Structure 1
Amino acid sequence: MIRMIPLAACLAALPLLAMAEGQTHRVAIHVDQNDPQVMTMALNNAENVAAHYREQGDEVVIELVAYGPGLQMLIVGQSPVEDRIETMSMVLPMTFAACGNTIKGLERKTGAPVALLEEAHVVPSGVVRLIELQEAGYAYVKP
């Protein structure tokens, strides 16, 4: 005898099947302060989130967005967390976005180009990047 499973029961099981296969979480971390403690906390947040989801069998994508005074985090020779960023970028699914508006302002002020860490990529605007990430479903974290 063939038993038919009601459609509602099949639909109710879909979230459980998705959880069994693992989910991908997306996190945007915002740094706008030239404060080593804030920068360290942002990196701690990234490591802790990655470890949490790894233990659950899920994936995570993390983007740290730095602008204003927080851009110091991504400047060669000025970042108090430069070595840690280099190490983390090799083991975490993480990218680092540097605000193009802030870079232009610094270059006008100093008359010299801003040298970013190799791990950083420039986005036109840090604030706009955070908006785009949130619109794309990223959770927002500000340490």
Structure 2
Amino acid sequence: MFRRFATAALLSLAFVTSAAAAGKTHRIAIQVDQNDPKVMNLVLNNATNVIKYYRDKIEDVDIEIVAYGPGLNMLRADTSPQPIKERIKRLKDDAFPGHIQFSACNNTKQAMEKAEGHAITVVPEATIVPSGVVRLMELQEQGWSYIRP
């Protein structure tokens, strides 16, 4: 009798554990701190592959790409190469809506504006955050995985 109860309890626990794991949203923060289209393409490839991997497993994943320092050029409307801007738009709007966020560092933006003497616009798919480094830190404190290409 006890053996049946123990087996049933273990099976129930395994079911609850696997159900809880299936409901988990995977979260990854990716840093962009280089003004290099090759690095940005690597970041976009990684994000795409992660999303496809979890989509195939029918699991949720959220990705936040955080650009600061020279990497902000990859999210600037005037300096990001056209192929990069097109990929960002496709990822944000078409391919994976709601699962990917692009964050642009306001500290870097303000420093660039001061150095260049004019306002800077980021691509429409990006959101400005007060500090890119602080944003990455806060995401890690919330349990997000961190990747630096």
TM-score of the superposition, structure 2-length normalised?
0.87
Superimposed CA distance per residue, residues 33-55 of structure 1 (whole angstroms, 9 cap, x where no aligned partner): 00111000000000000000001
For 1:83, give the aligned amino acid: E
Aligned to 1:121, the other structure's residue is in SS state: strand
Deviation at 1:4, TM superposition (A): 7.2
Which of 136, 144, 147 lines up with 1:141 in the alignment? 147
Do the aligned residues in 2 keep the contact of 1:74 with 1:116 (CA within 8 Å)?
Answer: yes
Number of residue pairs the alignment of both structures matches: 141
Shift of residue 11, structure 1, vs aligned partner: 3.1
List gaps (5 residues or longer) in structure 1.
none
2:121 corresponds to 1:115: yes
Q: Determine the structure 1 residue equivalent to 2:19.
A: 17
1:102 correspondence with 2:108: yes
Question: 1:53 is aligned with what amino acid?
Answer: Y
Give the match for residue 82 of structure 1: 85
Give RMSD over aligned pairs.
1.9
Q: Structure 1, residues 47-90: CA drift from partner, whole Å, max 9, x if none?
A: 00000000111011000000000001111131121111011101
Other structure's SS at 1:76 match: coil
| Aligned counterparts of 2:23 and 2:52: Cα–Cα separation in 1 | 14
Q: Which amino acid aligns with 1:15?
A: T
Amino acid at match of 2:65: L
